[in-house]
């Protein structure tokens, strides 16, 4: 794979981050600067810069004399991130211009239409991963629609998508049909003019996700049948 010379570090950073958040790279996987440089057809320097950016976001850890590894999220990490996510989305619900534009509403509806189609494929890993990708896109789009670029940038750094992917393997979470219904309620409120109704829908949904993780005590249950919100 040969990349354009412009902003090499940023391109490499985005590619590796996508591999981590999409579960192609798993916790504990080692990242070799030399191998990545060969893969991307670049020198070691832009790869090292990209690795530093990933480290700053907590996605990788650099161990002296051992190398660079994809970070493992602890239970407390997950709870902390979900708590911050909840506060950010509540704030977005307070400041987002209502009703959302027709363009935003259409994008949200398209996401939920595909989400609905996938509800009956519960035993399919690929479908599960796609549902959670759609879930993340739905929430990211709502935050972006608030129009605060600093909020959007901070929200993206939370890497909620990665939290969802990491969590489902070790915790029974929430039924996807319930998640879908809550998404529909959020969309309905976003197409209205009542900020209080939107904030209530968002708060209910995000707090349910956090509580589901907090109170999950049966890790032996097949998590592929469940989803975070």
The confidence score (pLDDT) of residue 3 equals 53
Instruction: Please tell me the pTM assigned to this model.
Output: 0.75
For the chain, give every residue range classified as CATH 1.20.120.530. 75-225
Query: Who wins on pLDDT, 150 or 164?
Result: 150
Distant-in-sequence, close-in-space partners of 136: CB < 8 Å, separation ≥ 6: 160, 161, 164
Q: How confident is the model at residue 224 (pLDDT cuts 50, 70, 90)?
A: very low
Q: For residue 32, how many C-alpha atoms fall within 13 Å in the half-sphere facing its CB?
A: 4
Give me the mean pLDDT over the 13-40 stretch. Answer: 89
Rounded Cα distance between 156 and 169, Å, is 22
Query: Who wins on pLDDT, 11 or 2?
Result: 11
Over residues 155-205, the pLDDT tens digits come to 988 877 666 655 544 444 678 889 999 999 999 999 999 999 999 999 999
The confidence score (pLDDT) of residue 223 equals 44
Q: Which fold has domain 75-225?
A: 1.20.120
For the chain, give every residue range classified as CATH 1.10.10.10. 8-70
The confidence score (pLDDT) of residue 172 equals 43
Over residues 115-144, the pLDDT tens digits come to 999 887 755 667 777 888 898 899 999 999
Give me the mean pLDDT over the 31-45 stretch. Answer: 93
Q: How confident is the model at residue 5 (pLDDT cuts 50, 70, 90)?
A: low
Rounded Cα distance between 98 and 52, Å, is 39
The confidence score (pLDDT) of residue 171 equals 45
| Sheet-wide strand order for 60-63 | 30-31, 67-70, 60-63
Residue whose C-alpha is closest to residue 189's, from 205, 209, 207: 205
Rounded Cα distance between 43 and 25, Å, is 22
Class of domain 8-70: mainly alpha
Are 108 and 142 in contact by the 8 Å Cβ rule? The answer is yes
Helix, strand, coil percentages, rounded to 5, for the chain: 65, 5, 30
Over residues 73-109, the pLDDT tens digits come to 777 888 888 889 999 999 999 999 999 999 999 999 9
The confidence score (pLDDT) of residue 221 equals 47
């Amino acid at each position: 794979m040969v990349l354009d010379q412009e902003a090499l570090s940023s391109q490499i950073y985005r590619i590796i981050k996508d591999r981590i958040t999409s579960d192609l790279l798993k916790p504990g996987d080692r990242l070799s600067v030399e191998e990545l440089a060969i893969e991307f057809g670049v020198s070691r320097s832009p790869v090292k810069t990209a690795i530093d950016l990933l480290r700053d976001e907590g996605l990788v850890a650099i161990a002296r004399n051992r190398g660079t590894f994809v970070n493992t999220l602890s239970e407390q990490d997950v709870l902390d991130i979900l708590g911050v996510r909840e506060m950010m989305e509540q704030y977005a619900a307070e400041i987002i211009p209502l009703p959302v534009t027709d363009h935003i509403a259409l994008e949200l509806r398209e996401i939920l239409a595909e989400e609905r189609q996938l509800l009956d494929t519960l035993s399919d890993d690929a479908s599960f991963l796609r549902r959670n990708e759609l879930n993340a896109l739905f929430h990211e789009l709502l935050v972006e629609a608030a129009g605060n670029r600093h909020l959007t940038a901070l929200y993206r750094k939370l890497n909620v998508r990665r939290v969802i992917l990491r969590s489902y393997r070790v915790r029974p979470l929430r039924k996807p049909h319930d998640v879908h219904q809550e998404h529909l309620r959020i969309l309905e409120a976003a197409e209205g003019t009542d900020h209080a109704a939107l904030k209530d829908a968002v708060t209910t949904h995000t707090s349910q996700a956090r509580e589901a993780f907090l109170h999950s005590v049966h890790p032996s249950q097949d998590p592929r049948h469940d989803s975070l919100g």
